[in-house]
Amino acid sequence: MADSSLPASKTTTLAGSAAPSRAASIEKDKHANAPHPPSRAASTFHVQDEAEVPTKDRAPAFAVALCLFQSLAGLLFGWEQGVIAGLLTNNAYQQRFGEPDAASPSGYSLPSTRQSLIAGFMSLGALFGALMIGYASRRVGIKYSYLFSLIIYMGGIAIETSGHSSWVQEMMGRFVTGWGVGALSLLAPLYQAECSPKHLRGLITGTYQLAATLGIFLSNACNYSLHDRGDDFSWRFPIALQFIWAAIVFAGTVVAPESPRYYVQRGHLDNARINLAKLRGLSEEDPVLLAELDQIVKGVEDEKLAAQSTYLDCFRPKDRMLQRTMNGILIQMGQQWTGVNFFFSYGPKFFAASGIKDSYQTQLILSGVNVIGTFPGLFAVDKMGRRAVLFIGSAIMFSGQIIAGAVNTARPNDPAAGKALIFASCWFIFGFASSWGPLGWVVAAEQFPLSIAPLCVSLATASNWVNNFLIAIIVPYITDAGYGNLQSKITFVWAGAIALFTVYVFFFIPETGGLSLVQVDEMYLTGVPAWRSSSWTPYGGATARNRDERMDEAKRLKLGNETTHHETVARRDLGDEEAVAESALRV
């Protein structure tokens, strides 16, 4: 039991006393035409300020199924990203949008410029979609923004599927489809984070990344099954099939409830309470539900602080914001410069040029490894820590890229070398999927204080899409015989980039696992070096890192609470804050 001399937290008074909650106070003030109480300054908020909120670890089937269903948006993202790899080497696609080439099996080939623009414009469209949809979601809500984005997505698919001979039409179709992909990449995890039961929130939001890898795998499977047909159906069907997935997601979203947070933002607390009750399977007057609603109201109030900040504030040296912003930007940049999207966008072309006969089959194997490799990453991130997983993943990826380049350079067109190349590529993909793939988003989301996080994470997201676009544009010029002619030696470029970004992680990316966002802010302000951050303990000493030790000590002393320096230290659901921050990165 907390010390009675300390002021009761807002959540405690909501659930356990007659004092009004923040939500109730705002509702009363609204009817009295009084202004809302001002938000508390972020600098005065400490981990000791709040007591533990009563919880019921409920998992209503409706809420879980609804939130998992939204992960299908990740499948749309993965499909559109993966399908282009097979199309660029499809004979019928080359005949439609390429130029005569006597050296090509189909008699046609896509020039490097066309390959770059067709492949890269999806990422460019996604950049604009992710940046622009945030404003719309605040105006009309996540649900209607989601439906609008799906319509845009299907419009882009229609443009791509109806292509006849103009490669510019395919390029613009990919841009429009990419706009929908980028918008959905923000909205789907955001909806999941806001509507899922909080004890399942991290797992549920992680399924978006899993669905994306599944989309890549299924698109490669579709390409593999049709590429020998040699007719227009072999390339139109893999694109058009996305209509089915989008229509299913659209139908499910129509019947989905709006996010309670949106109603709080609009001041409709009654609607927020009704929808939250549906999602939690609780009565509208349940203390646990009211406590969660109170937390949502407080979060919305804190978000108002971001309106006072500008992008210039992200690059100020004060409070080490410059370093923190660069950490978010560079961890996302490093994720792309591992070379992973080279394999998923140009894999069949790369393997065919390396002498592997069935490059489509090889691409299918890689995407399967990508799906499988995602599972250990989801479970290792909280068990081993962010830095350890990143370092292990870097070692696996670096060795895979070096082996792939060395084998193919030393013994080109050798069947044994081809098998070694496939193994090395699979080894690399496994390393990425279990480390930098999911962790690139997690780490970038945990670097910033709440008052400026929306701006900083939007810069990190922009870094991801911009570098994705740049790599798609430059790769054909680096690898093709008429230009850089690196061929398989490009793997040495990726290996060098992996080494550089790993060094950056060692010196500048702190260990944020087991810390709340407030504690991460404190760690930055203390100036602890990144390589010593794993053993850092915040003021008060209470973190998820040492939770078991603190509980054992409390039992040994036969105390019912955890005290340090005569202060009550609350146990908090730190994973909840991290999952919400991860979804904010999609903004």
Domain with residue 467: its CATH number is 1.20.1250.20
Confidence of residue 48 (pLDDT cuts 50, 70, 90): very low
Q: Each residue of 568-586: pLDDT tens digit? A: 444 445 445 555 445 555 4
Torsion (CA) 453, 458, 459, 463 in degrees, nearest 10: 140
Beta strands in 15-152 (DSSP E): 99-100, 108-109
Enclosing H/E stretch for 96: helix 91-97
Task: Give the end of a domain, one of 285, 308, 331.
Answer: 308
Q: Each residue of 330-373: pLDDT tens digit? A: 999 999 999 888 887 777 767 776 666 777 888 888 889 999 99
What percent of the chain shows pLDDT beyond 70? 77
Quick check: is 47 in a domain? no
Backbone dihedral region of 572: left (phi > 0), alpha (psi from -120 to 50 degrees) or beta? beta
Quick check: is 9 in a domain? no
pLDDT at 18 over 50: no
368, 277: one domain: no
For residue 567, the model assigns a pLDDT of: 42
The SS3 of residue 507 is: helix
Task: Give the end of a domain, one of 455, 490, 511.
Answer: 511
Enclosing H/E stretch for 322: helix 321-336
Number of domains in the chain: 4
DSSP label of 21: P
280, 388: one domain: no
Quick check: is 15 in a domain? no
Mean pLDDT for the chain overall: 78
225, 160: one domain: yes
CB-side neighbour CA atoms (13 Å) of 236:
12
DSSP codes of every residue in 350-388: HHHHTT-S-HHHHHHHHHHHHHHHHHHHHHHHHHH-HHH
Quick one: average pLDDT of 194-205?
A: 68
User: Is residue 571 classed exposed, middle or buried when 0-12, 13-18 and 19+ CB atoms within 10 A define those classes?
Assistant: middle
240, 250: one domain: yes
For residue 356, the model assigns a pLDDT of: 67
Quick one: average pLDDT of 175-195?
A: 84
Q: What is the 3 state secondary structure string of 405-418?
A: HHHHHHCCCCHHHH
106 vs 122: CA distance, rounded Å: 26
Residue showing tokens 């299907």: 154
Task: Give the end of a domain, one of 467, 483, 511.
Answer: 511
Domain that holds residue 284: 259-308
187, 319: one domain: no
174 vs 159: CA distance, rounded Å: 8
121 vs 462: CA distance, rounded Å: 14
For residue 405, the model assigns a pLDDT of: 86
Q: Each residue of 222-278: pLDDT tens digit? A: 998 998 888 999 999 999 999 999 999 999 888 888 888 888 878 888 888 888 888
Enclosing H/E stretch for 567: strand 567-568
Residue 146 pairs in a beta bridge with none
344, 459: one domain: yes
For residue 38, the model assigns a pLDDT of: 36
Q: Do the beta carbons of residue 438 and residue 582 sit within 8 Å?
A: no
**pTM for the predicted model, two decimal places:** 0.72
Query: How long is the chain?
Result: 587
Q: Do the beta carbons of residue 217 and residue 370 sit within 8 Å?
A: yes
Higher pLDDT, 74 or 517: 74
Residue showing tokens 């390589």: 531
Number of Cβ within 10 Å of residue 28's Cβ equals: 11
DSSP codes of every residue in 232-265: THHHHHHHHTHHHHHHHHHHHHHTSPPPHHHHHH
284, 209: one domain: no
pLDDT at 23 over 80: no
Higher pLDDT, 308 or 199: 308
Residue of 419, 462, 500, 519 whose CA lies nearest to 328: 462
Q: Do the beta carbons of residue 469 and residue 123 sit within 8 Å?
A: yes
Quick one: average pLDDT of 521-541?
A: 84
Residue 563 pairs in a beta bridge with 568
104 vs 337: CA distance, rounded Å: 30
Higher pLDDT, 26 or 507: 507
424, 572: one domain: no
User: Is residue 555 classed exposed, middle or buried when 0-12, 13-18 and 19+ CB atoms within 10 A define those classes?
Assistant: exposed
Mean pLDDT: which of 81-85, 104-108, 186-190 is highest?
Answer: 81-85
81 vs 334: CA distance, rounded Å: 19
Mean pLDDT: which of 37-41, 212-216, 483-487 is highest?
Answer: 212-216
191, 74: one domain: yes
Q: Do the beta carbons of residue 449 and residue 313 sit within 8 Å?
A: no
279, 177: one domain: no
Higher pLDDT, 450 or 20: 450
Q: Each residue of 426-454: pLDDT tens digit? A: 999 999 999 998 888 778 878 887 667 76
507, 545: one domain: no
pLDDT at 133 over 50: yes
Quick check: is 497 in a domain? yes
78 vs 437: CA distance, rounded Å: 13
For residue 228, the model assigns a pLDDT of: 85
Quick check: is 587 in a domain? no
Quick check: is 561 in a domain? yes
For residue 306, the model assigns a pLDDT of: 59
Confidence of residue 12 (pLDDT cuts 50, 70, 90): very low
163 vs 267: CA distance, rounded Å: 47
321 vs 315: CA distance, rounded Å: 6
Question: What sign does the CA torsion over 347, 353, 356, 359 have?
Answer: positive
Residue showing tokens 């179709």: 173
CA separation, residue 45 to residues 49, 518, 521, 525, 563 (Å): 7, 8, 11, 14, 19
For residue 507, the model assigns a pLDDT of: 95
91 vs 104: CA distance, rounded Å: 9
Quick check: is 324 in a domain? yes
pLDDT at 20 over 50: no
Quick check: is 334 in a domain? yes
The tokens for 185 are 């990449």
The tokens for 316 are 């100020």
492, 536: one domain: no
